[in-house]
Homo-oligomer: A and B are copies of this chain.
Amino acid sequence: MNIKSIKSEFPIFRQKTPAGTDLIYLDSASSTQKPQSVIDSITEFYSSHYANTGRASYWPATESTRQVEQVRKNVQQFIGAKSETEVVFTSGTTDSINKLANSIFNSDLWKGRQIIVSEMEHHANLVPWQIEAERHGLNLVAIPLLDSGELDLVAYKELLEKPTALVAITAISNVLGTINDVNKICRLAKAVGAITFVDAAQLAPYAGVNVEYLCCDFLSFSGHKLYGPTGIGVLYGKQDLLNQLPPFAFGGGMITEVDIEGSSFRDSPFRHEAGTLNIAGIIGLGAAIDFVEEVGFETIQSHEDELTIDLLNRLADIEGLKILGEQDRRGPLISFTIDGLHPHDLSTYLNESGICVRAGHHCAQPLMKKYQIPASTRVSFGVYNDMNDVEQFIKALKGAYEFFL
């Protein structure tokens, strides 16, 4: 697959927007568009061998079960896990974190310890920990940000001097684009015996995931941000930890024995997968992983880096425009503010040229408060973007200056 012509794999770009323009989609950090192969995998699955999974002994159930377990193996390889039993299917990153947070602090042992997050976390990797900290008597603390938009690792080391239950950190900030040194953060946490969780929602589509390299106990990402379907995500966990955790939810397929009086449960991953899975979502996730692996992460990264650097350079010249964060290592996204031009007005204006950008707090209110801004505009890239998208965006941005300022 050639990255220059890859846009043609995505049917949504074949049509015009209601404004009569080409669609210039610059919001992949929120959700990515879907290639034909992912869409087809779902159609094909429902049309040819759909059935519930879980070892019914008839075709097509045998085939759908085989395919689901095959995707589990593909995910294992995709993230570098030791065993496919370390791969739990969830409905997304938010679901993964909520389930993990809800299950992990199940004894009084944790009381008085701390959970460390950071000031740049997405609400999904903050609020569930906040709630559980309160429920079980832990303290939630946040690694502060440096002015550069990077985490203050000196402050982090000081935080680690107090008894720490868990460190939950994003690999890439969905607002600043900062790429965190997750390996270092996790190793430091390990050294004091803390459990580590990595939010790889933004990392997975940009650089892939290697849990061994990241050195984490748990990790999660969403299918819909990885060119895959909605409603499907992955929670990775080390096998022994997953087996020790109380089940995330209760129902069919995860049970060994049930009486009205009590129940016992299977081992991971089934232990944590209650009820009918998002089977078609899993199939589509498999196709999405095939897609990104076929393109190759080296290609994806260098392509998106090129666009990011070009846009950074062009934005640098624009008066009154302030980019959030000036870190060295940045994922494929840029947030900025413009004096006197509100992100929502800008976004509405750009939409009339078929350009999609995100305006708002990007589900990271603590970070916005830190920067003392109520909202920002975010441009983010996917494999299908090209230099023309950047150019159109800059052109429209200048139009907005004229219109509003």
Contact = CB atoms under 8 A, between A and B. Distances in A.
Copies, count: 2
Interface string A1-40: 0000000000110010111000101010011011000110
A17 B363 CA distance: 48
A192 interface: no
Given A42-B42, A274-B94, A127 B19 contact: no
Given A39-B46, A92-B275, A250-B98, A127 B255 contact: yes
A258 B47 contact: no
Nearest to A89: B231
Given A31-B52, A50-B34, A363-B252, A260 B230 contact: no
Interface residues of A, number: 93
Contact of A98 (B59, B142, B249): B249
A306 B253 CA distance: 32
A229 B280 contact: yes
B34 A39 contact: no
A357 interface: yes
B43 A276 contact: no
A224 interface: yes
Nearest to A124: B251
Interface in A208-245: 222, 224, 229-232
Interface in A341-355: 344, 347-348, 350-351, 354-355
Contact of A231 (B277, B344, B365): B277
A250 to B, nearest CB: 4
Contact of A124 (B127, B252, B365): B252
Nearest to A263: B127
A210 to B, nearest CB: 24
Nearest to A283: B230
A373 interface: no
A140 B260 contact: yes
B258 A123 contact: yes
A304 interface: no
Given A95-B275, A251-B94, A43 B39 contact: yes
A57 B359 contact: yes
Contacts of A351: 57-59
A366 interface: yes
B34 A251 contact: no
Contacts of A94: 249-252, 274-276
B276 A131 contact: no
A48 B10 CA distance: 10
18 contacts: A12-B60, A30-B51, A38-B46, A39-B42, A43-B43, A56-B360, A58-B355, A59-B351, A92-B276, A122-B252, A127-B250, A127-B263, A128-B249, A128-B251, A230-B278, A230-B280, A230-B281, A278-B281
